[in-house]
Structure 1
Amino acid sequence: MSYQTTFKAALFGLAALGFSGVAASADQLADIKAAGKIVTATDMHYAPFDMLKNGTYEGMTKDLFDGVAKELGVEPVYQDIPWTAELPGLEVKKFDIVIAPVTITPERLDRYTFTLPIADATVSLVKAAGNKDIGKPEDIKGKTVGVQQGTAQFKQLQAYGDKLGGVTVKEYGTTDEAYADLAAGRLDAVAGSLPNLTYLVKERGETFALLEPASFGEPTYFAWVLRKGDESASFAKAIDDALLKMTDDGQIKAIQEKWLGTYTELPREVPGQK
């Protein structure tokens, strides 16, 4: 065999290995099943979805994702990551999926793959229980309202405030910080998703109260987020199939009622996803 023939054969072998490697790593679900685990990211300070109680992770998200991971036959690995670092971390493949409840928006749909909705995310308002100056959403005009930074609720609050003629928006790293300032009288209200605020009032009704009506703006939904592209397609479908199965057999209804005290039927497809 000549040197030239040997060299060509070596190049062909390297190319074959390269293509083989791409094929092997192009299916995220296959990689996850081979590893036997799903590495997740969430913010464990977002009750009732994600909470740390005496150092133990619990909440609606965990119950839902435990069920999904069981359907997929793998173990979930839960990581507590600040919300503002979650989507950037997903993009550079620090974890497989963001399971913090992420509001589905047109802008995010262009950049990420969303699972089926896991909960209602319609923006709502809560006040201190003894506050008689605010009753309905329009009453926040000229007031100071807290909201978690980087959220869809923040953008909706800003837009609503502009429509009303002015609202001072104060951003917080976590909702717990916003609730603390509301309880201390440093805020007039806090904006957040309806499930979060419903749970807050359920647990601390002596301190907080929902506005009537609590919600404003267009109905929106929470979902989980994967990277965009063909690599994640089978992974997203497997999660959606698991969620539909859990819906049809009553698991999701039981989980919602456990954490929210009520059940909301959710879309069986991703709203707005093409």
Structure 2
Amino acid sequence: MIRRSLLAKTLSGLCAATLLSFSSVAAHADQLADVKKAGELVVGTELQFAPFDFLEGGKQTGLNKDLFAEIGKELGVKVRFIDLPWPSVLPGLEAKNFDMVAGPIIVTQARKARYQFTTPIAEATVALLTSARKDDVAKPEDIAGKTVGAGKGSAQLEELKAFAATLPEKVTIREYVDNNQAYADLAAGRVQAVANSLPNISYVAAQRSAVFKVVQPPFGKKAYFAYLGRKDDDAASLIQAIDGAMKKIKDSGRLAELQKKWLGAEMDVPTGDFEPSW
């Protein structure tokens, strides 16, 4: 009976050790390996963020589509985008509904603590878009006492709030889930300006120069756009692989070509990790 008891305990211990080993393997899964096995990189984004991601003739277009096509080639996988309202994108990433986020999104200290960012792809300093038919917002400080729009849940919104707090008159801020709606309200005179990153509003102003113009200079602190993934241990391999792919794309001049195509000019961005200004 004693021997049987000892044998049972030994077997029980071996089973527990085996289960622990399997649990450890599961805990250290490799997201890059999963993506390569599936042959597909699934990317969450919002198709209302020109010139990075938007619809033209009912089809996705923009810098993100072109750049991720290059990334997919380097990784040897297809890229599939999932279109969501922006407030749903980061929660979707955390729920593991997709592998990473295109956005792109402004790199901030708070976000770096929560997510893993790729090498930046463009400058993202915040500026104002206003009506080309009026001169009442000639400089950023002129929004004092006026109504200004910005994207709900965006870093641009937070930068606008911080800037507005420094002005002598209250700024009424309207938050929009859809940037196109903010631009429509600006064209209709329901807001006097819209805050967004310089590449975004420069593109909008260039497309509709009779309706919109950019207010110079930008009012925000220097910032950069990047893609991001989860900060799980298993996600590090994917971000590292994408960074490696982007280095090849940048070194070959392909990134500069896409920046010129979609943003109007080549942009000098940090390589690898950097300390954001906000």
Same fold (TM > 0.5):
yes
Matches within 5 A, 1:7-86: 8-9=10-11, 12-13=14-15, 15-16=17-18, 19-20=21-22, 22-23=24-25, 26-86=29-89
What is the match of residue 245 of structure 2? 242
Query: How is 1:124-203 mapped onto 2 (pairs within 5 angstroms)?
Result: 124-165=127-168, 166-203=170-207
Q: 2 CA distance for matches of 1:13 and 1:74?
A: 38
Return the offset for 1:272: 1.9
Where 1:78 maps in the other structure, the secondary structure is strand
1:206 aligns with 2:204: no
Structure 1 residue 54: deviation in Å? 2.3
Q: Distance in 2 between matches of 1:72 and 1:23?
A: 24
The Cα of 1:15 is off from its aligned counterpart by 4.3
Q: Secondary structure at the match of 1:38?
A: strand
Query: Partners of 2:20 and 2:43 in 1: how far apart?
Result: 28
With structure 1 as the length reference, what TM-score do the two structures score? Answer: 0.93
Q: Which runs of 5+ in 2 are unaligned?
A: none
Q: In the TM superposition, what is the alpha-carbon distance from 1:55 to its structure 2 partner?
A: 2.2
Within the alignment, does 1:93 sit opposite 2:96 as a pair? Answer: yes
Q: 1:23 to 1:250 in 2, by over 3 A?
A: same
- Gaps spanning 5+ residues in structure 1: where? none
Q: How far has the Cα of 1:89 moved from its partner?
A: 1.3
How big is the shift at 1:270?
2.7
Paired residue secondary structure (1:132): coil
Q: 1:17 to 1:58 in 2, by over 3 A?
A: farther
Counterparts of 1:244 and 1:258 in 2: how far apart (Å)? Answer: 19
Aligned partners of 1:35 and 1:17: how far apart in 2? Answer: 26
Aligned residues: 272
Change in Cα spacing, 1:65 to 1:185, as seen in structure 2 (3 Å) is same
Over aligned residues, Cα RMSD in angstroms? 1.8
Q: CA–CA distance in 2 between the matches of 1:73 and 1:3?
A: 54
TM-fit CA distance, 1:7 = 7.4
Partner residue in 1 for 2:125: 122
The alignment-based identity, stated in percent, is 44
Partners of 1:14 and 1:252 lie apart in 2 by 51
Contact preservation (8 Å) 2:127, 2:216: no
Taking structure 1 as reference, are residues 67 and 14 closer, same or farther at Cα in structure 2, changes over 3 Å only? farther
Cα distance between partner residues in 1 of 2:40 and 2:20: 25
Taking the aligned partners of 1:14 and 1:80, their CA distance within structure 2 comes to 43
CA distance in 1, matches of 2:12, 2:38: 31
- The CA distance in 2 between the partners of 1:74 and 1:140, in whole Å, is 47
Cα separation, partners in 2 of 1:251 and 1:87, compared to 1, 3 Å? same
Q: Secondary structure at the match of 2:48?
A: coil
Rounded to whole Å, the distance in 1 between the matches of 2:61 and 2:40 is 19
- Opposite residue 129 of structure 1, the aligned amino acid is A
* Stretch deviating more after TM superposition (61-70 or 174-183): 61-70
Larger Rg computed on CA atoms: 2
Residue aligning to 1:105: 108
Amino acid at match of 1:16: T
Note the C-alpha offset of 1:132: 1.3
Read off the aligned partner of 2:14 and give its amino acid letter: F
Partner of 1:163, secondary structure, is: coil
Residue aligned with 2:203, SS: helix
What is the deviation of 1:43?
0.2
What's the secondary structure of 2:191's corresponding residue? coil
User: Distance in 1 between the 2:88 and 2:214 partners?
Assistant: 30
